[in-house]
Each structure stands twice: as C-alpha cells, then as structure tokens.
Amino acid sequence: MSSWPRYRDDAAANEPAVTLDAFLDQPEAVAVRIEPDADVRVLVPHLSRLKLIEIAFPAYRDGRGYSAARILREAGYTGELRAEGDVLLDQIAFMRRCGFDSFAPAVPLDAKAAEAAMARWPHAYQRAADAQPPIWALRHG
Amino acid sequence: MYRYDQYDQAMVDARVAEFRDQVERRLSGAMTEDQFKPLRLMNGLYLQLHAYMLRVAIPYGTLSSTQMRALADIARKYDKGYAHFTTRQNVQYNWIQLKETPDLLADLARVEMHAIQTSGNCIRNISSDQFAGVAGDEVIDPRPHAELLRQWSSFHPEFSFLPRKFKIAVIASDADRAAMRLHDIGIRIVRRDGVLGAQVFAGGGMGRTPMIAPEIRDFVPEDQMVSYCEAILRVYNRHGRRDNKYKARIKILVHETGADKFREEVEAEFAHMQPLDLDPPRAELARIKAFFAPPEYAAIEDGYDTSDPDFRIWAETNLFPHKQPGYAAATISLKPVGGIPGDASAEQMDIVADLAARYSMDEVRVTHAQNLVLPNVRQDRLYALWQELDAAGLAPANLDRASDIIACPGLDYCSLANARSIPIAQEVAKRLAPIEREVGALQIKMSGCINACGHHHAGHIGVLGVDKKGVESYQLLLGGSAAEDVSLAKITGPGFDERGIVDAIETVTSVYRDAREGDERFLDTYRRLGMAPFKEALYDKA
Ligand code: SF4
C-alpha cells in the first residue's frame, strides 16, 4: 500500500502489514499494523527487524495512536511509522511531532493544503519525538 | 504579570492565521460543519441555542488593565455589550458571528490573549487561586508553575485528542480557593526540607459522577513537575475509556483502576520519561518567576477608617487579608441581587480596568465563584475605591454570602440544559439577601443539568435542574464544599418545582438558623446534624 505524504528517503516497505498477533507468530514478518487498543510496548524487543509499523486511526478523535507513536520512537524505532485511516489535514503536524513519517489518509489530502498545514507552526512548546527544540531550549540556548 | 516574548506571540499569531484559514474554508463551503466542528472547538467556539459562544482563556485568572479593556471592547464590537465570567476563570461571549471570530481572535492576540484549548478533548486553561501572590498563607505564588504548565500543554502534539477534556488547577497553600481536588489534576506547590515541589492529586471532577481526587504523589520536585504531568496524561490517553463519553474522564479511570494501581502505572511512565529531557530547565521557571516578582509596595501600616457604615459592611465582607502590611485584596462581586451571576457589561469592565490601573497596580483577577478581585489595594484608599465601585453598581457586599450564587447559563443559553438556572438564582438571591448577613457564610451553587458546570455538588447548598417529563424540576443538595474541607453534596429527596425550590432553600436556611451553635457556618451545622432535620422540615410538613 502506498502512502502520501511520506517524509522518508528510503524505499517504502513492500511487505503487507500483518496484525499484531500474526506478527508475534511470524519471525520473518517486517511490517505490522497496530489497532488503537494494542499495547505497542510488546513490539519493543522486535524493533530492529521492523521496517514498517502502521498505526490505525479508525476515528480521528481516538488519540491513542499519538502515544503509541511516541513510545515506539522513544524505544529507538527508526523504521517507517505510518498513520492510516481517519487522518485529517489539521492533525498531521501533531502526528509528525509524535514520530509519524508517513501518512495513508482514507480521504486523500490536498497537496498544497498539507504543505501549508505542515508549515503552520513556527515553534513548539514541548519536546516530542521529532528533532524540533522546544521553545524553552531556544530561550536558554 | 507574565508577558509574551517573540515565541509566545508567534504561536498565538499562528493560531489566529490557522483559524482564519479554517473559517474561510467553512464559509466558502469547502468544509462541512461536521469537519469544521472539531476545529472550531479547538478555538473555544461553541454553537449554542441562539448563536455562537466564544470562550476566551484567562490563564490562572490574572488580567492586566489593558487586557480587561480589550475584553470590554470585544463585548461592544462583537457581542451585545456583555461578557460572562465562568467558574473556570474564563470569559465567554454569547452572541458571536462566525465570520467575525478571526478578527476577534486577532484583537485578543494583540493583548497577549487567546481562546486556545478552551474547549475540545484537550488540556484546558490552567486555573489557580485568585489570591495567588498576595495571600499570606501561600508557600509561594503558584502562577509561575501554572504558566509553565500552560506552555507545556499548549498545542501538545500527543494530548490533543484525549478521551475527554482535561482540567488542571495549581494552588500553593493549605487553604483551597480553587476547588483543586475537583480537577483532573490538582497540584499544590509545597516546600519539603527547603525544596519546592508539587503534591499531585488526580482524578477529581464534577459532572454526572463527582469524585474527589486522591493523592497520587506526595512530592515531585518542581523541576520534574512537567514530566510528572506528562506521565499522568500518557497513562490517561492510553487507558482512559473511549467507549462511553460519560465514563471518559480521568476520574473514572482512576476510580476503576484504583488509585494505587494507577499510581504504579504513572510512576513507571515517569521513570521511563526521565532520560527524555522533557522538563524545562530551572532557568525557564526562574525566567517566568521574575514576571511575578512582588510589585513595589509602599511601606505603610495596616488600618483604615470605617466610619461610613455601608463601607464597613462591604469591607467586612469583601476584603481578603494581604501579605503586605497596609494592603488588601478587594473582591468585586458580580452578583448584584436580581442580576445574572458572572455577567459584566462592557462599561463595567472598563470601570474595573480603570480602577485596577488606579488602585491595584494594574491587576485584576477572576475567581472561580465568578467574581473579580483587585488584588493590590492600599488600605488607606479602600474607601475611595468603594465609593467608585458603589457608584458603578459594583459594590454588592455579599462575598460568600447567600446571594453570591454560582450558576451556570442554563436553559437561557445552553443547548444541553434541562432547566433554567439564572432565574432561580435571581429569585433565591432576592429571597435571602435581606437575611444574608445574619446567615453568614453560605455557598449556593446551581447547574441547569447533570454536567454540573455550576458546581452544584460542591455547594453548601446545591441545586440541579432536571427534566421531569418535559417539566423543569429542581433537586436540592446539601453539604458540599470545594475548599480544603472538600466534600460532595447529597440529594435531600424528591425534587421541587420552580417556586418550591426557592421555598426549600429558605426552609433549610431556617433549620440552620434555629439549630446553629456558636459561629457555625451552614455547612458545619449540616455536618454536625446530618440530613435528618433538614429532610424533616422539607418533606414532613403535612
Ligand atoms: S450544567 Fe448543563 S445547563 Fe449548565 S452550562 Fe453546563 S451543560 Fe449547560
């Protein structure tokens, strides 16, 4: 499955994302799909073999996937982290900050509007999973 | 007072630009109301019974004269000349046009204000003690800690789609004037062995299932307070219920998990977060604290002339002792008998702004009881201040008295309401005002539905509007408190109609007047005697 926008230079994983249960059973699997109620910490021992983790957003209001993404990045995951489903224009900047680097919105985003949304915030107040220094770091060098 | 630097201003300006863009997309039809709704809610814009309502954040309830004047201008320019101060120290405008909101937000941004996160399932405006910085009983002014949390929680990328809204209060004294333990997170700044830190409570709240927040941590050093809150929010975001909107607040999670188990989860997350460098450095808190340094007080002594009896009554009722000798904090009651609790006209707001500039070192506070405070008044100028307040209709001498009623907007404005609360509050105030000095401290709180925006669970006397087969009906509750002696009020029994509820409140007040011992408050008498004598007087009249 292709995704857009994508903020990675490597080639997208071709392998299909399997369910968490299937992934834990299949030592050769490299792509997994995470539902909102899953505990992503069970993936931590397996991160080095993973190329793609797809986090499902069945409804934009369900914000569990934001925590899941940050937890994976905090655990050192460097592969593709994709937000799939009810992913809206006005959310992708926050998702990027939580560590998502590719998006598969159920309703495709308008390219120009997505670019504008990503460029909207000049700074951030808090540290998250991206490289952006928080405002307090800018203030105190 | 805190002032924005270029970063704060840039963030607020970006929000205004974003919302302008979103409103344009909505008005042009590029976006449906369904798609627009979550976006406008992020900006405090609700669709009410008759128009849009906009809620503006007043962080920890502190305003400058300039900001108060700007709020008055907004009331004139975009509303019908009124504003409404809320139980969360915010201000609401009830008659707003969608197409004008971007300009309104731009006007706010010019005076370093915003409507960010005043609605939606995110971390809301941080509230605090209205006497922060001037109360003699505080360990330290809690507002810098509240400001630190305001910045941390603003546009938080992980916590903008929580199971439900999330409210935080920060205080710094044993006395609780901010209903701290009825918040999702309640923080008390304490000093232990010379070190400042936060005592943390979580899982309090009102609404349909009121809960008093249990202590989650006795002490976390102030420079780890942000990451501790982050840990609580992450546990809540991951595990809070999302299957039922009425069970989605953190209080239900804490209650269902149990405080001990919840604490374990938070502690594990907190430990995990320590290497992540999430806490701002000490220098940042020091930077913020510098904005709240005490003003230049004059070296004067306590004491003022009380020969005018009307002034004396006001001074005895509406003043709060100041930590600086020769000064006082004066509450401006927004509860004139027959008025709408918490409402102020644009003219009154201009007057308050002007009085704050001339009498109170440029500061105004908003209280969770929907009143205003001039925190820094010289005692030798209190009489002059009172005369000006009185001339403007702003000198009701009723702080914490029977007519100082907290009431939500109810059926007059709110689309969720079951019953009217404002007219009931007006009737009760009229009925009890003549005896309120003799009755003494009495907190009456009214909500127009079970959502409890009027804090009825926390009233010495609470009133809850319910819909009984299409007829407005009112339940009576007794024995609640939002202060350090926090407790939840209990329902007396069957409800009353509109006239009956006013009579019922008068009845329970009479029971108290007959039964009180010494200088007991209504609440103390209720706690000593229990519900029985009140119930008897209410229902056994036959
Ligand atoms: S308590 Fe109910 S009626 Fe009153 S403001 Fe809240 S939602 Fe509306």
> Among the three residues B358, B391, B424, which one is the final residue of a domain in this structure?
B391
Question: B389 CB contacts (<8 Å, ≥6 apart)?
Answer: B332, B355, B395
Instruction: Please check whether residue B520 lies inside any domain of the structure.
Output: yes
Instruction: Please check whether residue B333 lies inside any domain of the structure.
Output: yes
Residues in chain A within 8 Å Cβ distance of B237:
63-64, 66-67
Residues A122, B151: C-beta atoms closer than 8 Å: no
Residues A66, B157: C-beta atoms closer than 8 Å: yes
Residue of A nearest to B234 (CA): A67
Residues A140, B11: C-beta atoms closer than 8 Å: no
* CA distances in angstroms from B252 to A6, B169, B213, B265, listed in the order given: 38, 19, 11, 15
The owner of tokens 């941080």 is B126
pLDDT confidence of residue B348: 96
A87 is written with which tokens? 């992913």
Are B174 and B129 in contact by the 8 Å Cβ rule? The answer is no
Residues in chain B within 8 Å Cβ distance of A122:
10-11, 14
Q: Which atom belonging to ligand 1 lies closest to the Cα atom of B415?
A: 8
> How far away is chain A from the Cα of B341, in angstroms, using its nearest Cα?
34
Same domain for B139 and B286, yes or no, is yes
Distance CA B357, CA B411 (A): 37
pLDDT confidence of residue A13: 80
> Which residue among B48, B84, B449, B457 has the greatest number of ligand 1 atoms within 8 angstroms of its CB, and so is best to mutate?
B449
Same domain for B318 and B273, yes or no, is no
CATH number of domain containing B81? 3.90.480.20
Distance CA B35, CA B363 (A): 40
Instruction: Please check whether residue B302 lies inside any domain of the structure.
Output: no
> Which residue among B453, B455, B475 has the greatest number of ligand 1 atoms within 8 angstroms of its CB, and so is best to mutate?
B453
Residues A123, B22: C-beta atoms closer than 8 Å: no
pLDDT confidence of residue B34: 83
pLDDT surpassing 60 at residue A1: no
Same domain for B360 and B420, yes or no, is no
Instruction: Please check whether residue B304 lies inside any domain of the structure.
Output: no
Residues A94, B35: C-beta atoms closer than 8 Å: no
Instruction: Please check whether residue A12 lies inside any domain of the structure.
Output: no
Distance CA B8, CA B317 (A): 39
> Among the three residues B359, B391, B423, which one is the final residue of a domain in this structure?
B391
> Among the three residues B391, B425, B452, which one is the final residue of a domain in this structure?
B391
For B498, counting Cβ atoms within 10 Å of its Cβ (0-12 exposed, 13-18 middle, 19+ buried), the class is middle
CATH number of domain containing B372? 3.30.70.3340
Residues in chain B within 8 Å Cβ distance of A120:
14, 17-18
Ligand 1 atom 2, closest CA: B449
Q: Of A93, A66, A60, give the one whose Cα is nearest residue B120.
A: A60
B320 is written with which tokens? 């709060």
The owner of tokens 């005369």 is B387
CATH number of domain containing B445? 3.30.413.10
Please identify every stretch of chain B with a pLDDT value under 50, giving residue numbers as ranges.
none
Instruction: Please check whether residue A13 lies inside any domain of the structure.
Output: no
Same domain for B439 and B497, yes or no, is yes
Residues A63, B22: C-beta atoms closer than 8 Å: no
pLDDT confidence of residue A90: 83
Same domain for B243 and B361, yes or no, is no
Tell me how far the alpha carbon of residue B50 lies from the centroid of ligand 1, in angstroms. Answer: 15
Same domain for B520 and B428, yes or no, is yes
Instruction: Please check whether residue B120 lies inside any domain of the structure.
Output: no
Give which of A55, A95, A127 to mutate to test B binding, by max B Cβ within 10 Å. A127
Question: A25 CB contacts (<8 Å, ≥6 apart)?
Answer: none
> How far away is chain A from the Cα of B120, in angstroms, using its nearest Cα?
10
Distance CA B277, CA B264 (A): 21
Instruction: Please check whether residue A131 lies inside any domain of the structure.
Output: yes
> How far from the centroid of its chain's Cα atoms is residue A99's Cα?
5
Instruction: Please check whether residue A57 lies inside any domain of the structure.
Output: yes
| DSSP category for residue B138 | B
Distance CA B521, CA A109 (A): 61
Residue of B nearest to A92 (CA): B157
Instruction: Please check whether residue B177 lies inside any domain of the structure.
Output: yes
Residues in chain B within 8 Å Cβ distance of A116:
21
What is the count of structural domains for chain B? 4
Same domain for B145 and B271, yes or no, is yes
Sheet holding A31-34, edge to edge: A18-19, A31-34, A52-57, A80-85, A102-105
Residue of A nearest to B275 (CA): A74
Tell me how far the alpha carbon of residue B418 lies from the centroid of ligand 1, in angstroms. Answer: 8
Sheet holding B52-56, edge to edge: B45-47, B52-56, B91-96, B82-85, B343-345
Instruction: Please check whether residue B171 lies inside any domain of the structure.
Output: yes
How would you label B237-276 residue by residue, b for 16+ Cβ within 10 Å and e otherwise? bbbbbbeeeebbbbbbbbbebebeebbebbeebbebbeee
Q: Is A46 on the interface with B (CB under 8 A)?
A: no
Q: Of B222, B205, B139, give the one whose Cα is nearest residue B175.
A: B139
Residues in chain B within 8 Å Cβ distance of A138:
7
Are A86 and A59 in contact by the 8 Å Cβ rule? The answer is yes
ipTM comes to 0.97
Q: Is A95 on the interface with B (CB under 8 A)?
A: yes
> Which residue among B87, B408, B422 has the greatest number of ligand 1 atoms within 8 angstroms of its CB, and so is best to mutate?
B408
Residues A126, B284: C-beta atoms closer than 8 Å: no
Same domain for B356 and B430, yes or no, is no
Distance CA B521, CA B436 (A): 12
Domain that holds residue A93: 18-140
pLDDT surpassing 70 at residue A2: no
Q: Of B62, B18, B328, give the one whose Cα is nearest residue B178.
A: B62
User: Is beta strand A80-85 parallel, antiparallel or unpaired with respect to A102-105?
Assistant: parallel
Pocket of ligand 1 (CB under 6 A): B 408-410, 414, 416-417, 447-449, 451-454
Instruction: Please check whether residue A2 lies inside any domain of the structure.
Output: no
Are B205 and B249 in contact by the 8 Å Cβ rule? The answer is yes
CATH number of domain containing A49? 3.40.50
Instruction: Please check whether residue A48 lies inside any domain of the structure.
Output: yes
pLDDT in tens, A87-122: 988 899 999 999 999 999 999 988 888 898 899 999
Same domain for B76 and B155, yes or no, is no
Same domain for B368 and B423, yes or no, is no
Domain that holds residue B466: 406-539
Are B140 and B172 in contact by the 8 Å Cβ rule? The answer is yes
Distance CA B493, CA B491 (A): 6
Tell me how far the alpha carbon of residue B502 lies from the centroid of ligand 1, in angstroms. Answer: 20
Instruction: Please check whether residue B396 lies inside any domain of the structure.
Output: no
Residues B7, A98: C-beta atoms closer than 8 Å: no
Ligand 1 atom 6, closest CA: B453
Q: Which atom belonging to ligand 1 lies closest to the Cα atom of B417?
A: 3
Which amino acid does the sequence have at B343?
D
What is the count of structural domains for chain A? 1
Q: DSSP string covering B356-373, please? A: HHHHSTTEEEE-TTS-EE
In three state form, how does the secondary structure of B377-416 look?
EEHHHHHHHHHHHHHCCCCCCCCCCCCCCEECCHHHCCCC
Question: B11 CB contacts (<8 Å, ≥6 apart)?
Answer: A121, A122, A123, A125, A135, B154, B155
Residues in chain A within 8 Å Cβ distance of B281:
136, 140
Same domain for B282 and B363, yes or no, is no
Distance CA B3, CA A101 (A): 35
Question: B540 CB contacts (<8 Å, ≥6 apart)?
Answer: none
Residue in A91, A121, A136 closest to B280 by CB: A136
Instruction: Please check whether residue A115 lies inside any domain of the structure.
Output: yes
Same domain for B161 and B214, yes or no, is yes
Size of interface A-B (CB pairs under 8 A): 97
> How far away is chain B from the Cα of A46, in angstroms, using its nearest Cα?
19
